[in-house]
Structure 1
Amino acid sequence: MSTHWKKYFAILFTGQIFSILTTSMVQFSIVWHLTATTQSAVVLTLAGLVGFLPQAVLGPFIGVWLDRWNRKLTMIAADGSIALFSLVLGLYYYFGDPSLEFVYLILLIRSAASAFHAPALQAAIPLLAPEDQLTRVAGWQQMVFSVSTVVGPALGIAVYSATSLGLVLFLDVAGALIANLMLLFIPIRQPKPAGQQAPHFLNEFKLGWKTFVRARPVVIVTAATAIFSVVFMPLATLFPFMTLSHFGRGGYSASLIEAVFSIGMILGGLLLAVAASKLKDITYICWSLVVIGLACLGSGVIGPDAFFVFAVLSFVMGAASPFFNGPYMAMIQKAYAPEMLGRVISLVTSVMLLASPIGLLLAGPLVERYGIQPWFFWSGVVTVLTGLLLMAGFKKLQADQPASEA
């Protein structure tokens, strides 16, 4: 392990700030554009669906390739592809107004490229940082993500309102190019493949699955993550709809909610980075679910004049999120060998993303019929119960371990 790992992470995360910032600008601008022009929850959930589905479908299979391909080059190629199709959509918006079908197609392709980038990045992290620092690095990563996303929505709506969605997409191209340039300065060693025999896709896929299920704690948390994703992930798409339909406010208020959520994530990530070794990863995960669920539940019962309360609850959700995402990824990175991480991470990511389209398909018609608040309320109930059941399950698992060892 290199003694310069902190320097490498500084370079890596500096590049990612630009990439995530401009991507956040694009994502929010597209969501708000669709919200303002269609005012349809179904259109928004379809946009979310095409954004999730390719990653969910491809995830279990691309892990086999990720563990054999050069991870740095994979990240560069994936980010470059995302930039290319941002450029295509940007030119279309600059010279005209594309159809919804074309927007969905570009979102679909960008999602497919992201399916390679995100697992490759996560699988590369244990090759740069010591194992005992992985949870702390996860906290740093959450902070970088949050700093970018706190500025992204506000900057995106400002550029979108002053110019056009096309210019926002052009900025995404610049962000991807900067991130790729920074990656060139980071040496990332490539682990040897798990098997020395000739590559065989089906056998390697089966090996990845068998490796994944051996770590029972990770399997349990992944199952809980799938349940959580069904109810919570649609909210990421429907937050602007809540601002518009329930509170009757415009784009800047919607970007304010995104900003306070991200500020919460920044502070939560900072606290996780400082207190990473104080508690076990699973303790952070369980309490994070409980807190997020209570905040969602509260959002589902407040009145249309309580926008400030909604902003506070959004901040709480954001602050609790790093305590789920960071420890969960650190748990995975600690549980598996580096040469198997690509397929395991892509597999667990797919489980989460396969659950998300289910939630989006349910949320669209239900929100159209009953309104946005019931979805917030019942997603909060499910999330709290998931956290409490997970907490009880791990207590039982810890109680069974001494007996089995005896």
Structure 2
Amino acid sequence: MMEANDQVAPKPHWKKNIILFLSSQAISLFGSSFVQYAMMWYITLNTQSGIMMTLYIICGFIPTFLLSPVAGVWADRYNRKLLIIYADAMIAFATLILAVVFLMGYNATWLLFLMAAIRAVGAGIQTPAVGAILPQIVPSDQLTRVNGINGSLHAVIMFVSPMVSAALLTMSTIEMIFFIDVITAMLAIATLLIFLKIPLHEKASEIQKTSYFSDFKEGLTYINNNDFLKKFFLFFAFFFILMAPAAFLTPLQVTRSFGDEVWRLTAIEIAFSVGMMAGGGIIASWGGFTNRVHTMTFASFIMGACTFALGIIPNFWIYLVFMALFGVAMPIFNTPTMVLVQEKVDENYLGRIFGVFGMISTSMMPMGMLIFGPIADVVKIEWLLVATGLFILILAMLLGKNKVLIQAGKPTLNESP
């Protein structure tokens, strides 16, 4: 199979373009993330209902899952930059209307559910487009570095935004936070629209002669005929299911085993976020092993070992160390994963492949919670962490021994081995 980026033309001014693109995405993500926290805390404080929080989470998950395959087709058929702009504009417009409605005194909780669903639609449109657009901007030998920097930016934003959101809720109203989000979205849109020039990819520049459904089927056929992608997606489906206890049940474990003080829950979030920032910097400067799958395997072993350790550590401060180490491993795992797809998939299929990847990533962890959540009420969470940690270690060994994936992970022709 010809590597997707072996024959890509040189990308002039790519450093300027990627700085503009990552800056616009950071501005947009910052506004979106602190609004997400503000809405979540607003619902918590005003309803104090677990059912309401569950509904809010569902509203923020289902639209992304359902839209991902369609959005993947859009990302291949149309201008990816404009798709990102349209999604941001839609969210900003809906947020502006919500702010005005709240100012008029109509602040029903269901409006926040609707807003969560609209934001999830926007995220569903953006995610495949963002994943597919990076190889259009960045030379393939710089993809690891750029994805690592992007991961660090995301980690910093996710670290800062809860604190900013809490401070803003204390000093002002939720309506003002909505207006700030509108402003950040408009800044991000202006940056992309005015300053960033990205040529259309091949498929988007052609007259579309097939239907959406035909394009989607074509994407599935592409996956079915590609041994690497089939095994890659199968690995991730199991991996995300096994990650569910560490991702969702550790706050409950801390409350049950170490104490229900709020500072403890804050501490585990800070430890994980600081670890992710460090991990993003490490992978951006190091670049990983020559074979990308070896880097993924290495990070998988760390995450499996940390999951196991979180189930047996009796001291909270040592627990935080392993939580931070888990955070370090995440970008070391995620970055070569993204780069591998960007390198190995034909540019005209990237959107659809990232759409399917989005479906897997948004559905498998909740599916894992459907399995492990009820079990956590009858079995100690520590046991679940020990068991899933061992299974992740086994999965990591299988990943490191899979000949198809190891072959796919080798450097491309335009990289120095």
Matched AA of 1:153:
P
Q: Contact 1:261–1:318 at 8 Å: present in 2 too?
A: yes
Q: Contact 2:93–2:182 at 8 Å: present in 1 too?
A: yes
- In the TM superposition, what is the alpha-carbon distance from 1:11 to its structure 2 partner? 1.3
Cα 1:307–1:166 shift into 2, 3 Å: farther
**Rounded Cα–Cα distance in structure 2 between residues aligned with 1:239 and 1:170:** 34
> TM-score if structure 1 supplies the norm length?
0.86
Aligned partner of 1:133 among 126, 142, 167: 142
Instruction: Write the deviation string for residues 100-149 of structure 1: whole angstroms up to 9, x where unpaired.
Output: x4433322221111111111111111101111221221111111111211
Partner of 2:23: 14
SS at match of 2:61: helix
Q: Contact 2:399–2:405 at 8 Å: present in 1 too?
A: no
Matched AA of 1:108:
A
Cα 1:23–1:249 shift into 2, 3 Å: farther
Q: Contact 1:246–1:372 at 8 Å: present in 2 too?
A: no
Cα 1:119–1:197 shift into 2, 3 Å: closer
Matched AA of 1:209:
L
Whether 2:298 is the aligned partner of 1:287: answer: yes
**Rounded Cα–Cα distance in structure 1 between residues aligned with 2:250 and 2:45:** 13
Whether 2:132 is the aligned partner of 1:123: answer: yes
Partner of 1:329: 338
Percent identity (aligned):
29
SS at match of 1:67: helix
Q: Contact 2:272–2:323 at 8 Å: present in 1 too?
A: yes
Matched AA of 1:331:
L
Aligned partner of 1:310 among 302, 319, 324: 319
Aligned partner of 1:342 among 345, 351, 354: 351
Partner of 1:224: 235
- In the TM superposition, what is the alpha-carbon distance from 1:327 to its structure 2 partner? 0.7
Q: Contact 1:239–1:254 at 8 Å: present in 2 too?
A: no
Cα 1:31–1:172 shift into 2, 3 Å: same
Aligned partner of 1:174 among 178, 183, 192: 183
**Rounded Cα–Cα distance in structure 2 between residues aligned with 1:49 and 1:17:** 25
**Rounded Cα–Cα distance in structure 1 between residues aligned with 2:37 and 2:376:** 20
Whether 2:283 is the aligned partner of 1:296: answer: no
Partner of 2:214: 203
Cα 1:259–1:29 shift into 2, 3 Å: farther
Cα 1:219–1:170 shift into 2, 3 Å: farther
Q: Contact 1:67–1:340 at 8 Å: present in 2 too?
A: yes
Q: Contact 2:304–2:392 at 8 Å: present in 1 too?
A: yes
SS at match of 2:317: helix
Partner of 1:362: 371
Partner of 2:5: none
Q: Contact 2:305–2:393 at 8 Å: present in 1 too?
A: yes
Q: Contact 1:45–1:237 at 8 Å: present in 2 too?
A: no
Cα 1:243–1:165 shift into 2, 3 Å: farther
**Rounded Cα–Cα distance in structure 1 between residues aligned with 2:49 and 2:390:** 25
Aligned partner of 2:401 among 388, 392, 397: 392
Q: Contact 2:245–2:385 at 8 Å: present in 1 too?
A: no
- In the TM superposition, what is the alpha-carbon distance from 1:317 to its structure 2 partner? 1.5
**Rounded Cα–Cα distance in structure 2 between residues aligned with 1:90 and 1:118:** 25
Q: Contact 1:288–1:324 at 8 Å: present in 2 too?
A: yes
Instruction: Write the deviation string for residues 344-363 of structure 1: whole angstroms up to 9, x where unpaired.
Output: 11112212222133123334
SS at match of 1:193: helix
- Give unpaired runs (5+ residues) of structure 2: 1-9, 411-417
> TM-score if structure 2 supplies the norm length?
0.83
Whether 2:275 is the aligned partner of 1:264: answer: yes
- In the TM superposition, what is the alpha-carbon distance from 1:332 to its structure 2 partner? 0.6
Cα 1:50–1:379 shift into 2, 3 Å: farther
**Rounded Cα–Cα distance in structure 2 between residues aligned with 1:103 and 1:160:** 16
Which stretch shifts more, 188-197 or 38-47?
A: 38-47
Partner of 1:404: none
Cα 1:178–1:250 shift into 2, 3 Å: farther
Cα 1:249–1:353 shift into 2, 3 Å: same
**Rounded Cα–Cα distance in structure 2 between residues aligned with 1:58 and 1:67:** 14
Q: Contact 2:38–2:169 at 8 Å: present in 1 too?
A: yes
Cα 1:339–1:89 shift into 2, 3 Å: same
- In the TM superposition, what is the alpha-carbon distance from 1:246 to its structure 2 partner? 4.7
